[in-house]
């Protein structure tokens, strides 16, 4: 027998009416919340909507224009943008970590004459994880191999591995970038050589008769590399445009520290740290280059001494 559905529920299920009313108020709350949210890109109705990404007409890396009129180059950028924008958890973590390392690393890059966009190369290399190690034994934020790290001035021994220090390895990276720029004369080629190696990139250029990175036919990893850096820059510099709702206070804080020159060997680093008002864990976070020597927790000072970082004391 036909019936009026609304009347049926009203008289047969009071609980349904209560539930419907609660649901209605919940929706009102959500829409009010959305209306006052500073993130315009993320509306309640399309949180899970996956759409193509509009590629800007002009994109720059390190002050050099990327030739997006080349459809193959444009597709490579599109691939990297889609991968980053829809890799929600990973991209949000990168955003948060960038708050800790952006200023100190960009300051270091510009101090040595390197464009600040190379900060995003570090993100492409390591996700800003100073302890990460590749299957090829490249280590740290800038992913130096041991031999290359020593070549560019990093201290690497039983007690110290400066590949794990984002700031000190950044200085080493700037030396590489300077040397590579003298060879290639293009920041895109410099970045590509960081992935493939100077010799490998130069060989490809000689064999293919072009010095333009974007005109080279390269291995997949190096072919994607510079476009991935550019895509990371686009998203991390303007996260809300790409649907990431993050406020300034939600980024991870930078480490503020004082420095102490160590001139004598230390028998127990945890005990030394305790005297500075730090746990050993805090000491390692501030001094990621200082490693455990065969689990003895001692420190042998290199010739000339070594700088330890300690938590900056709060002004009273």
Closest CA to 126 of 82, 173, 73, 183: 173
Which pLDDT does position 316 carry in this prediction? Answer: 60
Q: Which residues, in sequence order, are CB contacts of 218 under 8 Å at separation 6+?
A: 192, 196, 204
CA 109 to each of CA 16, 42, 191: distance values in angstroms, whole numbers, following the listed order: 62, 34, 14
Identify the DSSP state of 173: H
Torsion of CA 192, 198, 199, 202, to 10 degrees: 60
For the whole model, what pTM was predicted? 0.85
Which pLDDT does position 48 carry in this prediction? Answer: 62
Q: What angle do CA 9, 13, 14 make, to 5 degrees?
A: 110
Which pLDDT does position 95 carry in this prediction? Answer: 98
Quote the CA–CA distance of 97 and 75 in Å, as a whole number.
28
Closest CA to 140 of 291, 309, 299: 291
Reading the block at residue 99, the tokens are 């708050």
Quote the CA–CA distance of 189 and 218 in Å, as a whole number.
12
Strand-pairing partners, residue 161, are 156
Q: Which residues, in sequence order, are CB contacts of 19 under 8 Å at separation 6+?
A: none
Question: How many other CB atoms are there within 10 angstroms of residue 116's CB atom?
Answer: 15
Which pLDDT does position 304 carry in this prediction? Answer: 94
Instruction: Let me know: does 140 contact 130? Beta carbons within 8 Å.
Output: yes
Which pLDDT does position 47 carry in this prediction? Answer: 55
Mean pLDDT by 10 residues, the chain (316 residues): 36 45 47 49 57 95 98 98 96 97 97 98 98 96 98 95 97 98 98 98 98 98 98 97 95 95 96 96 95 81 96 77
């Amino acid at each position: 027998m036909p019936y009026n559905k609304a009347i049926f529920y009203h008289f047969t299920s009071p609980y349904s009416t209560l539930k419907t009313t609660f649901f209605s108020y919940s929706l009102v709350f959500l829409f009010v919340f959305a209306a006052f949210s500073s993130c315009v890109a993320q509306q309640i109705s399309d949180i899970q909507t996956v759409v193509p990404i509009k590629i800007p007409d002009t994109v720059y890396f390190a002050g050099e224009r990327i030739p997006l009129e080349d459809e193959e180059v444009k597709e490579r950028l599109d691939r990297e943008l889609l991968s980053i924008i829809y890799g929600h958890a990973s991209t949000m973590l990168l955003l948060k970590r960038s708050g800790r390392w952006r200023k100190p690393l960009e300051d270091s890059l510009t101090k040595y004459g390197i464009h600040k966009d190379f900060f995003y190369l570090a993100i492409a290399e390591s996700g800003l994880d100073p302890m990460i190690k590749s299957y090829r034994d490249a280590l740290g934020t800038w992913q130096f191999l041991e031999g290359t790290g020593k070549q560019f001035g990093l201290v690497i021994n039983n007690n110290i591995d400066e590949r794990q220090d984002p700031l000190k390895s950044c200085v080493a990276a700037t030396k590489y970038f300077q040397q590579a720029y003298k060879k290639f004369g293009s920041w895109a080629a410099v970045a590509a050589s960081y992935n493939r190696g100077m010799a490998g990139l130069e060989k490809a250029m000689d064999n293919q008769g072009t010095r333009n990175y974007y005109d080279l036919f390269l291995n997949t990893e190096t072919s994607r590399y510079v476009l991935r850096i550019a895509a990371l820059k686009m998203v991390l510099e303007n996260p809300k445009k790409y649907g990431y709702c993050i406020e300034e206070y939600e980024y991870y804080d930078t480490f503020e520290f004082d420095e102490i020159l160590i001139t004598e060997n230390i028998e127990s680093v945890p005990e030394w740290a305790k005297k500075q008002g730090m746990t050993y864990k805090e000491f390692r976070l501030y001094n990621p280059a200082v490693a455990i020597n065969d689990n003895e927790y001692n420190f042998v000072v290199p010739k000339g001494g070594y700088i330890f970082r300690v938590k900056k004391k709060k002004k009273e």
